Chain A
Amino acid sequence: MIQYIIKRLLQTIPVLIGVSIIVFAIMRVFSPDPAPIVLGQHATIEATEAWREAHGLNEPIIQQYFTYMGNALQGDLGTSYYTKQPVTQEIFSRFPATVELAIAAILFASFFGILIGTISAVKKNSIFDNLGMLLALIGVSLPIFWLGIMMIIFFSGTLGILPSGGRLNPLLQPDHVTGFYIIDALLSGDMAALKDAIHHLILPAVALGMYSMAIIARMTRSSMLETLEQDYIRTARAKGISEKSVIIKHGLRNALIPIVTVIGLQLGSLLGGAVLTETVFSWPGIGSYTVNCILKSDFPVVQGVVLLIATIFVFMNLIVDIIYAFLDPRIKYSKKGD
């Protein structure tokens, strides 16, 4: 197992190098020159040239890449061209917001996805099944930004029960410990901040989790249908085990492997920043921030974020694979030749 994990970790290195080369090349080849964007409309041609020189943009791309990677390996991802703040600081001041939202969304999606999928499978072809799958179809098809705006108009505008956006009332800000407001509020025992943070989280988490919920519901349904037709389920029923126990302990548990894969991959992509959701709900995460940086040709930030997202995605895959072993004892990560 340990060897397997080490092997997988080593495999991430070429993946990350590949990603870094691609993003580096794309930004430099296709993005507009950052100098006029950074220096503004009144910059002189000499100032623009001096800035490019100072930021190494006149060097050959390959040399720029090696300089960048050399610094990156030492933990220096550079400084944002636009705000002049260190990239690591820019990313990590926004990343907790993205993580908090992604986790809330995946919890929502997993709970309802598995619930709907299981009911649909157990009550196959019933009204529940049809309704559940209709909901899944809607979840897959609805554009997030439209759903988000409709939710804002209805829940914030018409009903006025939930805030339209943002992460917290700034006057209720708990002491900064982890950057996760729910945890920070709990740690400082500030119930008003906790309530406010949860209120702000509901709409974006539901909007963001809707698609994942639909995917998970579909996967649960098909996996459960397959499992429920297995011989051991018939055996379990024949032994007189209660239906609830058959479905949950024998059915769901065995059906869980593909579902966990989907949940893991969905979480990976949600952590990559939910650009549209973050924009619509003014959620201060890295998704919307990165898009702004792409538009401003802020190379160091975009490179840093893409590397971070790629790393997260690779690790989510790894974690999913490891969880398999816990869920299904039949899976073993054996050494080659065993």
Chain B
Amino acid sequence: MRKHMKLVSMVLLVAMCVFCLAGCGGNKQQQEAAPAAGEAKLSDTLVFAQGAEPRGLDPALVDDGESAKVMANIYEGLVKYAPDSTDILPCLAKSWEISEDGLTYTFKLQEGVLFHDGTPFNAEAVKFNIDRQLPPLVTEDMGYAGFVFGSVDNVEVVDEYTVKINLKSPSTPFMANLAMALGAPIVSPTALQNNDNNVNQAPCGTGPYKFVSWSPSENVVLERNENYWGTPAKTQNIIFRFIADNSARVVALTNGEVDMIDGIDATVVDQIKAGQMTVDNIEGMTINYLAYNTQSPVVADKEVRKALSQAVNVPELVASLYQGYASEATTILPSFMPGYSAEVKQVGYDPEAAKAVLEAKGITEIHVITYTNPRPYNTANGQTLAEAIQGYWSKVGVTAKIDAYDWSTYKEKVKTGDYDVCFYGCNGDNGDPDNFMNLLCDPDPTMNVARYNNPEFNALIAQGVATANGEERNALYAQMEKIVAEDCVWLPISHAQVLSAYNPLVDGYYYHKTAVVFFSEMSKPAK
């Protein structure tokens, strides 16, 4: 018995000694460890902290932004986005031609490109990647297959470095789709064959970084691809760490554990700046809006919708809710996207006129549904936004009854259509105006939450998809914006800025508008 007691006591004592010694020596050890590691490796390493773990690293099988950030450094597509816009530049395709009828896309491919497994990139690889996302091979868990390749009829290999993609019908957004980090990137066919058509855990692309390891819930490590066909990456290792808590992520940045963070909101900006770190804010590819249910008898009348919109002082609302980290949306499309028109005007703030119309129409109560979670396009969350608008409406004699739900439940409620007004938003996928505007003609009521159905608008959407990029196409989208503004279907509220932060020692920081981050040009001086 005594032996047992002694054993227990000894174990406890030894454990505590280890703890205490480690704790007491903390400062010294940390100071010693950092330079030691720095001399060996750390000067070659950049650490990026994001809020969640990727779902997987197979571009055909995932649909989340956290995966996209990692994959954008491992894989490449035929084309890529320009650094500060969503214009299209060559990547694995060095040039392309689009047939007159808009149905055939012929790509000339880069030669001498190798996948990370040493196999060659060629037209067969392109065909393999697209074919796996087309019927009959496509599976229902390929979330972006339909979006990216839905317009593709078939793919032909012309020669080793020429590939022809035939579309079922003309689709101008198709080129923009090919630059996306989801669905479009080209994966090594050999890796796919060796991994049962799923490289979520064993990604293999042509990009400037190759995959090293993934510790679940902890980190993903990438290393420089020494055989990269383009300019080799400047930094040897990239580590993606997953830090769910916002405050902890900020502390990790300010005390030098990580070099860059994203997923932050306005509340921590001062703390980041006080820690001598740099905040990067770019206008995001998002729209945050209020939608009127055009099928609801209460707001079916355009005059009522207009009056309700007039009662809301959008600039004041945006300034107070988002503290300068979102811009007032005067249009559905963000200003950097093709099709944006500064001439489009939403109804202005006019509470007097609003009150008169609403009184005349006998509107005293509005049923509003909203969501309780912060969203990328609305960092203040839907409930806060709804309550602010409730305040404006109460001034014109309208009582808004708000039902707020968590996001998953909310989407179910939207499906039922039992609301006069709801709040929603959109994170753009491909930088094409159709991506935003077709939300207003989508037959799926969880996408087209205003349940808007205007044949004239729908015809313009179809025309926009089939028209080649250029002034004529941009004019079509400006016209669509005007129709929606005139019909007061949505009240556009804000375009959120994408906030990220980095250590000023990092050179070449590049966070793209599509919310992916590219590391190949980034570096940090060795300590």
Instruction: Give A contacts to B, CB under 8 Å.
Output: 32-33, 36-45, 47-48, 50-51, 54, 82-85, 90, 93-94, 97, 104, 107-108, 110-111, 114, 149, 152-153, 156-157, 159-173, 192, 195-196, 198-199, 202, 205, 253, 279-282, 284-285, 288-289, 292, 295, 297, 326-327, 329
Contact = CB atoms under 8 A, between A and B. Distances in A.
Interface residues of B, number: 63
Contacts of B29: 195, 199
Nearest to B146: A42
5 contacts: A32-B409, A39-B140, A160-B256, A171-B221, A279-B245
A167 B63 contact: no
A279 B26 contact: no
A121 to B, nearest CB: 18
Contacts of B216: 90, 93-94, 284, 289
Interface of B: 1, 4-5, 12-13, 15-16, 18-19, 22-23, 26-27, 29-30, 33, 36-37, 41-42, 45, 52, 55-56, 61, 63, 140-141, 143-144, 146-147, 198, 200-201, 213, 215-219, 221, 237, 239, 241-245, 247-248, 251-252, 254-257, 408-409, 411-412, 444, 447
Given A166-B218, A282-B241, 6 more contacts: A32-B411, A38-B141, A44-B146, A165-B248, A170-B213, A199-B30
Give the top 5 A-B pairs by smallest Cβ distance, nearest first: A284-B217, A40-B143, A40-B63, A32-B408, A284-B218
Given A85-B201, A165-B252, A280 B245 contact: yes
A43 B140 contact: yes
A291 to B, nearest CB: 10
A32 B200 contact: no
Contacts of B255: 156-157, 160, 164
B400 to A, nearest CB: 26
A149 B55 CA distance: 27
Contact of B217 (A54, A153, A288): A288
Contacts, number: 179
Contact of A202 (B23, B55, B141): B23
Nearest to A195: B29
Given A198-B22, A284-B218, A329-B1, A42 B201 contact: no
Secondary structure dominating the interface of A: helix
Given A36-B411, A284-B217, A84 B33 contact: no
Contact of A161 (B30, B37, B408): B30
Given A164-B252, A284-B218, A173 B213 contact: yes
Contact of B37 (A152, A169, A202): A169
A301 to B, nearest CB: 12
A159 B24 CA distance: 13
A38 B143 CA distance: 8
B30 A192 contact: no
Q: Name, among B36, B61, B143, B216, the residue most crowded by chain A CB atoms within 10 Å (CB to CB).
A: B216
A161 B248 contact: no
B16 A285 contact: no
